[in-house]
């Protein structure tokens, strides 16, 4: 069997961030909401908005951005009509699309090499970024041209390891799950989720130094898994008989 597609996790696989970067990103999102509210002349309790955002931001991974913004504003006692809401929503998108990501080692060359092999490439990410914003962010990073499909958990309302999000990637690539290799940094969400759906999988540990969780999850320690520390190892594995 010859693989026809490859899907990548995004954070700590293709891109990474430091704890300082994460704090700046969250501050950027919150300030974008405040900017939109100030611009439209809406009065609000800033402390209430701060607390609502802090407590609810984790839900942005599985709620489309418009719904997430409404949830935060409503929880802070802010009700907006349609036209004003759309302005706040637009400011939020403007800010996150200006976020500059850090590419992991070898990413551009590895993606280019995989495309030259004729593989279709997808990104499957548990992320607060909507797909349309990710295309812009990855375009600014210089890698969007190598990608055929992006699947965002916040857009779809479901994240890895659910088979639903992997099935969306399968459909968008138009490649059967058994002919897709998934590469990601998390044992359960990426490796176990992908293999349970019927994909091949590789656990990538090259950016573990930037993660909060520095060690491989015990489920991947007790099971025989394929793991790599460099993305360039993918092509070597493709040339072997490992995934046949």
- C-alpha 40 chain-centroid distance: 31
User: For the structural domain made of 5-16+103-239, what CATH number should be given?
Assistant: 3.40.50.1000
Phi, psi of 214 (to 5 degrees): -90, -15
Sequence ranges of the domains in the chain: 5-16+103-239, 19-97
> What number of other Cβ atoms are within 10 A of residue 176's Cβ?
13
Residue 7 has pLDDT above 70, yes or no: yes
Dump pLDDT digits (tens) for 107-145. Answer: 999 999 999 999 999 999 999 999 999 999 999 999 999
**pTM for this one?**
0.94
Dump pLDDT digits (tens) for 60-101. Answer: 999 999 999 999 999 999 999 999 999 999 999 999 999 999
- Please give the Cα distance from 238 to 8 (Å, whole number): 15
112: left (phi over 0), alpha (psi -120 to 50) or beta: alpha
- In 3D space, the residue among 239, 193, 212, 136 whose CA is nearest the CA of residue 7 turns out to be 193
- Please give the Cα distance from 242 to 56 (Å, whole number): 43
Q: 152: which 2 tokens?
A: 């965002």
- Please give the Cα distance from 208 to 79 (Å, whole number): 42
The H-or-E segment that residue 57 falls in is: none
Residue 168 has pLDDT above 70, yes or no: yes
Instruction: Classify residue 174 by its DSSP letter.
Output: T
Where do runs of H (alpha helix) occur along 40-106? 46-56, 65-75, 82-97
Distance from first CA to last CA of the chain, Å, rounded?
A: 5
Dump pLDDT digits (tens) for 14-60. Answer: 999 999 999 999 999 999 999 999 999 999 999 999 999 999 999 99
CB 235 within 8 A of CB 215: no
- In 3D space, the residue among 174, 151, 158 whose CA is nearest the CA of residue 8 turns out to be 151
């Amino acid at each position: 069997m010859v693989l026809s597609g490859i899907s990548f996790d995004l954070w700590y696989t293709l891109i990474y961030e430091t704890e300082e970067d994460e704090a700046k990103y969250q501050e950027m999102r919150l300030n974008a909401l405040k900017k939109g509210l100030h611009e439209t002349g809406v009065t609000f309790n800033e402390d209430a908005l701060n607390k609502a955002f802090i407590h609810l931001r984790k839900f942005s991974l599985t709620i489309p951005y418009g719904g997430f913004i409404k949830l935060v504003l409503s929880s802070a006692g802010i009700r907006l009509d349609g036209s004003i809401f759309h302005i706040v929503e637009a400011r939020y998108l403007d800010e996150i699309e200006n976020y500059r990501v850090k590419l992991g080692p070898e990413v551009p060359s590895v993606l280019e090499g995989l495309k030259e092999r004729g593989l279709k490439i997808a990104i499957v990410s548990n992320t607060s970024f909507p797909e349309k914003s990710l295309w812009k962010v990855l375009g600014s990073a210089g890698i969007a041209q190598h990608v055929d499909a992006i699947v965002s958990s916040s857009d779809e309302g479901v994240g890895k390891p659910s088979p639903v999000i992997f099935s969306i990637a399968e459909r968008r690539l138009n490649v059967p799950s058994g002919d897709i290799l998934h590469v990601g940094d998390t044992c359960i969400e990426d490796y176990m989720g992908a293999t349970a759906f019927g994909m091949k999988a590789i656990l990538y540990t090259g950016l573990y130094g930037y993660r909060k969780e520095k060690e491989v999850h015990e489920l991947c320690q007790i099971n025989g898994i394929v793991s790599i520390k460099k993305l360039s190892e993918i092509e070597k594995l493709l040339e072997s008989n490992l995934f046949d």
